[in-house]
Chain A
Amino acid sequence: DTGVSQNPRHKITKRGQNVTFRCDPISEHNRLYWYRQTLGQGPEFLTYFQNEAQLEKSRLLSDRFSAERPKGSFSTLEIQRTEQGDSAMYLCASSLEGGAQGTGSGNTIYFGEGSWLTVV
């Protein structure tokens, strides 16, 4: 179990460019989440996948944002035509529906190290 992996860890891009972040969840986890965090704030929910199905998208996720999870494994988050307001840390998390058997862990979510985006 290597944990949730995200890359790139840091990305600096010019306004108007497209960026893509990748998340590899913990291997047996069927649930995957994207959150966004700006300085001084708590993480904000962006979207959620159960297996390959995207079941919820936040209003924060404008039309310039798209997320996919082909085959229910890794996920990508693409931001098109980046704006300075997109600068933030993008966090991916995963969980196992029902939790690990017998542990009473419920829907414990595990976060990756995050991908920092700076739009200049």
Chain B
Amino acid sequence: GIQVEQSPPDLILQEGANSTLRCNFSDSVNNLQWFHQNPWGQLINLFYIPSGTKQNGRLSATTVATERYSLLYISSSQTTDSGVYFCAVASGTYKYIFGTGTRLKVLA
């Protein structure tokens, strides 16, 4: 099956800093989502982005499907950005496979 690797595994930032999170996947996919899991466990949708670039406020994401990676950019980080960021991919129409996540802590 598809392997999903995320880097870095852990990241500590000062408030206001920028960061880039990476997701590599081992096979072609036609669905890709980024999620933020908050400290209460809720998985919050950030982007549905099987290809191309999207932006939503301080967050943006780029997927280069032909090279099998996706990037999540966080600018001007805030303490509320803390949590775990997951990339999930699906090569078929429904079965998403998750990476192990990037644990982000933003310090005030």
Which interface class (under 10, 10 to 19, 20 to 34, 35 or more) fits B?
A: 20 to 34
Q: Which residues of A contact B (CB under 8 A)?
A: 31, 33, 37, 41-45, 48, 50, 56, 89, 91, 95, 97, 105-111, 113-114, 116
Would you list which residues of chain B between 25 and 41 have a CB under 8 Å from chain A? Answer: 30-31, 33, 35, 40-41
A43-B86, A106-B50, A111-B35 known; 6 other A-B pairs, CB under 8 Å?
A31-B94, A42-B98, A43-B88, A50-B94, A105-B48, A111-B43
Question: Are B41 and A113 touching (Cβ within 8 A)?
Answer: yes
Among A41, A48, A108, which residue has its beta carbon within 8 angstroms of that of B33? A108
Q: Is the CB of B48 within 8 A of A95?
A: no
Option from B94, B97, B98 in Cβ contact (under 8 Å) with A48 = B94
For the complex, is B93 an interface residue (Cβ under 8 Å from A)?
yes
- A109 and B33 in contact (CB under 8 A), knowing A91-B43, A114-B41? yes
User: Quick check: A107 and B43 within 8 Å, CB to CB?
Assistant: no
Residues on A with C-beta less than 8 A from B4 are 42
Contact B96 A109 (CB under 8 A): yes
From the candidates B30, B42, B50, name the one contacting A111 in the complex (CB within 8 A).
B42
Contact of B94 among A33, A42, A43 (CB under 8 A): A33
* Beta-carbon contact of B45 and A108 below 8 Å: yes
Take A106-B31, A107-B90 as given contacts and tell me if A42 and B99 are in contact as well, using a CB distance cutoff of 8 Å: yes
Q: Least Cβ distance of A17 to chain B in Å?
A: 23
Closest 4 CB pairs of A and B: A42-B98, A111-B43, A108-B48, A114-B41
Find out whether the CB atom of B41 lies under 8 angstroms from the CB atom of A45.
no
Q: Can you show 18 pairs from A to B with CB atoms below 8 A apart? A: A41-B100, A42-B86, A42-B88, A43-B86, A43-B98, A44-B98, A48-B95, A56-B95, A91-B43, A95-B94, A106-B48, A107-B90, A107-B93, A107-B94, A109-B33, A111-B35, A111-B43, A113-B41
The distance from the CB of B80 to the nearest CB of chain A, in whole angstroms, is: 18
CA distance A107 to B40 in the complex (A): 25
Most chain B CB atoms below 10 A, which of A45, A108, A113: A45
